[in-house]
């Protein structure tokens, strides 16, 4: 079974631009979660989607948004980029229907904001 | 609310020596606890998880962890360190049914001395 894939792997943007990151979950998984990893703040939960609906949300400003498609693929968007948005963005997928399902992580997208 | 504290941001052990990485949790409900490993430029890989079935949990690569409710701890151990164990290790907690949000500790970087 193929793992979680994220595209692109690396991205360079400038302040004020917007960016869209993509995540393809493991086949059959309906839950996709997004995390931001930075040296200063560590790993922080952004949001989770299940069956095209946002089921949980972390404490990030409205510039961070996401969506999930009917095939469970997910995208996250960051508008009006700031220098502090430079981070590794990790996507994780799970079946999403158990009491707690193991999350499988992708390799991440490294975003650099100049 | 749930949280985890990892004591020691950097740990160095000699090859063949015992590995002990510390994690203490705080949770208002019985928690689910996890240890993940991250190798450079990669995503997170699940080492093991505690979901209340057994207090001593065995994971991949020879790692194990013991859930101690009285100490609110879930320390990760491996009897004999190998050079390939050098990586960053994260303890994480989740306490919600049907909710995939993970709260991570700040991580411990493990260095193996030849």
Of B90, B102, B106, which has the smallest distance from its Cβ to A103's Cβ? Answer: B102
- Residue A98: is its pLDDT beyond 70? no
* A89 within 8 A of A8, measured Cβ to Cβ: no
* pLDDT per position as a tens digit, A2-31: 899 999 999 999 999 999 999 999 999 999
Residues of chain B neighbouring A107 (CB-CB closer than 8 A): 41-43
Q: What is the mean pLDDT of chain A?
A: 93
Best mutation target, A31, A57, A103, A110, to test chain B (most B CBs within 10 A): A103
* Residue B59 CB-density burial (10 A; 0-12 exposed, 13-18 middle, 19+ buried): middle
pLDDT score at B99: 57
Pairs of residues, one from chain A and one from chain B, whose beta carbons lie less than 8 Å apart: 63
Residue of B nearest to A104 (CA): B45
pLDDT score at A56: 87
**Separation CA B78–CA B81 (nearest Å):** 7
Between chains, do A100 and B44 touch, taking CB under 8 Å as contact?
Answer: no
On the CB side of A55, CA atoms within 13 Å amount to 19
pLDDT score at B95: 67
Minimal CA separation from B17 to chain A, in Å: 28
């Amino acid at each position: 079974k193929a793992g979680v894939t994220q595209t692109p792997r690396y991205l360079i943007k400038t302040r004020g631009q917007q960016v869209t990151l993509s995540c393809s979950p493991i086949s059959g998984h309906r839950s996709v979660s997004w995390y931001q990893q930075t040296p200063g703040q560590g790993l922080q939960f952004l949001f989770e989607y299940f069956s095209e609906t946002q089921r949980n949300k972390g404490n990030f400003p409205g510039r961070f948004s996401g969506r999930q498609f009917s095939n469970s693929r997910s995208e996250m968007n960051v508008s009006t980029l700031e220098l502090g948005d430079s981070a590794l963005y990790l996507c994780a997928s799970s079946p999403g229907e158990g009491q707690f399902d193991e999350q499988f992580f992708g390799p991440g997208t490294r975003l650099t904001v100049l | 609310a749930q949280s985890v504290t990892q004591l020691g941001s950097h740990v160095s052990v000699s090859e063949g020596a015992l590995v002990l990485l510390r994690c203490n949790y705080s949770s208002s409900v019985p928690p689910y606890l996890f240890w993940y490993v991250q190798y450079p430029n990669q995503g997170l890989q699940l080492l093991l998880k505690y979901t209340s079935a057994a207090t001593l949990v065995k994971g991949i690569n020879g790692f194990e962890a013991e859930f101690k409710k009285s100490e609110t701890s879930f320390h990760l151990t491996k009897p004999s360190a190998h050079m390939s164990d050098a990586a960053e290790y994260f303890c994480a907690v989740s306490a919600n049914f049907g909710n995939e949000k993970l709260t991570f500790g700040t991580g411990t970087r493990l260095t193996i001395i030849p």
